[in-house]
Chains A and B, each alone.
Chain A
Amino acid sequence: MEIQVMQDILGKNDEVAAENQALFAAKKVFALNLLGSPGAGKTTLLEKTMAALKDELRMAVIEGDLFTTKDADRIARYGVPVIQINTSGGCHLDAPMVQSVLPRLDLDALDLVVIENVGNLVCPAEFNIGEDEKAVVLSITEGDDKPLKYPLIFKESAVVILNKVDILPYTNFNLEAATEDIGTIHPGAMVLPVSSTTEEGLSAWYQWLRQAVQKKREGYSE
């Protein structure tokens, strides 16, 4: 016998993601899914962000990593609550993994939860984890052809952070072309050229985060 099914393969993940999202909504916490290749500078960007905003926004971090606690250890130095999820070789975080650690966060006392995903431009793009927005970090050394090679992650991300612009003069990365490609894949995406090292451009990133947190707070207090 043949039967029609028409069921989404990641439907179970999406159901749990919706539960996570409802919890973040009830607590008025802005949840950010931070994506990017290994070495793009996700953790360094987070360190800068915590140093700049931790007195202003009540933050917590969930760190996705294959095996180690290296990134979580870096985050913990800033006095921000951090929870480690080890995927044991898994290439992405999924919604149930995030759900399993949320009880360990005091969401009533938070404005912002940043979930740093496993370093990867492919797999994490397919798995919603209940975030409000995705942000992807692309570093200059990865090359300006990456948006067209990995379009889904750029399509899914509200913000694209082009990191390490301080070394632009030493590479053949074409900032204009990359920005244009991102604009065709995701019209309206915010593209922010920054350097976590020199701190160039970071104020625009902080401003985006502040506004996102503010909107989340107000959106549910009307």
Chain B
Amino acid sequence: MHEMAIAEGILDIALDYAHKNEAEHIRKIGLLLGEMTGVETEALTFCFTSLVRGTMAEGAELALKRVPLIGHCAQCGRRQPIRHYNFICPACGGGLAIVSGRELRVEYLEME
């Protein structure tokens, strides 16, 4: 249950940007969540909802966007989805380096 720590990270970033932009209320927070991140989205939403009470992010929507796990083969140069966490290139047997799928990122904010 590290979702509370992640919710705190999200709120810190959101409040920081809201102050900088002299916003009064945060309406929506867009998140990028990689396929290979250990985040339980229901737990995250639950933690976030209780955490933001009494802040300017109270009632803010968490818009979650999942990012697929994509790898790049150093040997044959192919870029492809990684299935079943198999990091061996199906085409040539080389190792796949992660291109995307590990994101835990605030993408955008909607404020007023």
Contact = CB atoms under 8 A, between A and B. Distances in A.
A152 B38 contact: yes
A3 B17 contact: yes
B13 A184 contact: no
A187 B37 contact: no
B21 to A, nearest CB: 6
* Interface residues on chain B, size class: 20 to 34
A152 B102 CA distance: 10
B16 to A, nearest CB: 9
Contact of A126 (B2, B10, B17, B107): B2
Given A1-B23, A122-B38, A9 B10 contact: yes
* Residues of B contacting A: mostly: mixed
B60 to A, nearest CB: 13
B41 to A, nearest CB: 13
A218 interface: no
Interface string B59-100: 000000000000000000000000011111000000100000
Contact of B112 (A1, A5, A7, A11): A1
A4 B68 CA distance: 21
B46 interface: no
A94 interface: yes
A4 B108 contact: yes
A5 B106 contact: yes
Most chain B CB within 10 A, of A94, A155, A187, is at A187
Given A148-B85, A184-B88, A3 B38 contact: no
A148 B84 contact: yes
Interface in A1-52: 1-13
Interface residues of A, number: 32
A127 B108 CA distance: 23
Contacts of A91: 1-2
Most chain B CB within 10 A, of A7, A12, A183, is at A7
B104 A6 contact: no
A188 interface: yes
A65 B12 CA distance: 26
B104 A9 contact: yes
Given A3-B17, A126-B104, A187 B88 contact: yes
Contact of A2 (B36, B39, B85, B109): B109
A151 interface: yes
A187 B21 contact: no
Nearest to A148: B85
7 contacts: A3-B111, A4-B107, A6-B105, A7-B13, A10-B9, A123-B2, A188-B95
Interface of B: 1-2, 5-6, 9-10, 12-13, 17, 21, 23, 30-31, 36-39, 84-88, 95, 104-112
